[in-house]
Chains A and B, each alone.
Chain A
């Protein structure tokens, strides 16, 4: 059973378009993180959201944590080819970050 469901699995868009990636669960998480992974590299942390309803912005990326801390979304405005990669959400339960539960990821391709 996958505790964190990400959708869509694949997304191919043109440069300049907007997109939203979703991360849903029936479980409550202490925090939720978003990572981006490029081929041949490990995931790189983009943001951590902790409070239900929290919204964080990172340039053209907007992250939201659901009120019940069970779901999250990542919205990218005016996507660029450099945004191409695998976007992963990961939830932490309890007090330790050493045991993250990952979604399977959304593979984003932004064409120029």
Chain B
């Protein structure tokens, strides 16, 4: 069974630009969550999508948005990039049964550098 894949793996952008990151979950998984990881703040939850609907949302500004397609693939978009958006962006997939015992599987992440 293929794991969670994320593309691209590395990205360099300049301030003010926008970026779209992609995540393909494990086959059969309907929930995709996105996290931002930085040395200073650690891993922070951005949002979760289930069946093409945003089910949970973290405390990030509206510049961060996402969507999920009918095949469960998900994209996140960051508009008007700031230097502080430089981070490793991780997505995780799960069955989405809303059970606190359910396992999330993480992808390798997309490392974004904003210059």
Q: Please report the number of residue pairs spanning A and B whose Cβ atoms sit closer than 8 angstroms.
A: 79
Q: Flag if A104 contacts B42 (CB, 8 Å).
A: yes
How many residues on A have C-beta within 8 angstroms of the other chain's C-beta atoms?
27
Docked complex Cα distance between A104 and B44 (Å): 9
Chain A residues near B96 (CB, 8 Å)?
Answer: 98
Cβ proximity bits B30-72 to A, threshold 8 Å, 1 near / 0 not = 0101010000011111001010000110100000000000000
- Where chain A touches its partner, the secondary structure class is loop
Cβ proximity bits A87-99 to B, threshold 8 Å, 1 near / 0 not = 0101010111111
Chain A residues near B25 (CB, 8 Å)?
Answer: none
Docked complex Cα distance between A60 and B99 (Å): 28
> Among the listed B100, B102, B106, which residue makes an inter-chain contact with A44, where contact means beta carbons less than 8 Å apart?
B106
Chain A residues near B103 (CB, 8 Å)?
Answer: 45, 48, 97
B interface residue numbers (CB < 8 A to A): 4, 31, 33, 35, 41-45, 48, 50, 55-56, 58, 90, 92, 94, 96, 98-109
